Structure 1
Amino acid sequence: MLKYLKNIFVIVFIVFAIWMLFIDSNSLLIHRELNQDIEDLENEKDYYKKEIEKDKKAIKELSTDEGVEKLAREKYYMKKDNEDIYIIEYEDSLNLEKKDE
């Protein structure tokens, strides 16, 4: 073992390997961090693509009069002049504060 460590080429190779793996600006550790960042950004890109598709669908629905009327009735509880609106809320959909006993 000592015979190999006395060889100048082995010493230079070991120093070079340590330098390239840990110290250099393009080290293995930095590459691993960058790969993780790339993966996170790709996941975020997929999320935003899905959101864009959802928004395009909503815009398409709202581009018609029926879609606007549906949104106004369901979200803002608007009504026509000759209509009555009854809002039915179920117990499990209400935000009730639980009292500690």
Structure 2
Amino acid sequence: MTFKQFKNKPIIKLITNRYVLIISVFLVWMFFLDENSYLNHREFDKEIKKLKNEKEYYNSEIKKDKELIDKLQNKEDLEKFAREEYKMKKENEDIYLIEYDTLKKK
């Protein structure tokens, strides 16, 4: 096959067309090399999704804490919370902690 026969094939004509070459270079540039490339956008979308999930988590935690604060406005509930969570006690009061063995004995 000579060079002239090779050059006359339709696929070679299409590939060597200057417009196809320019468009292909442009597409490669935009998808992979540009600072606003598709790859960068994909990474940013992943990060946005992660941050939205974190925001949702923290909003739910804030809601739980607000409910706890509202509950602890009552003095009796506050004392109960302090005793259970922080092992606090009143003067002249003894606290006994009872721990159960969760391991099964043979």
Give me the TM-score of the superposition, normalised by structure 2: 0.77
Aligned to 2:41: 31
Is 1:20 aligned to residue 30 of structure 2? yes
RMSD: 1.8
Aligned to 1:54: 64
Give me the TM-score of the superposition, normalised by structure 1: 0.81
- In the TM superposition, residue 46 of structure 1 has moved relative to its aligned partner by 0.8
- In the TM superposition, residue 73 of structure 1 has moved relative to its aligned partner by 2.3
List gaps (5 residues or longer) in structure 2.
1-10
Report the number of matched residues: 92
Is 1:43 aligned to residue 29 of structure 2? no
Letter in 2 for 1:9: Y
Letter in 2 for 1:23: L
- Percent of matched pairs sharing the same residue: 47
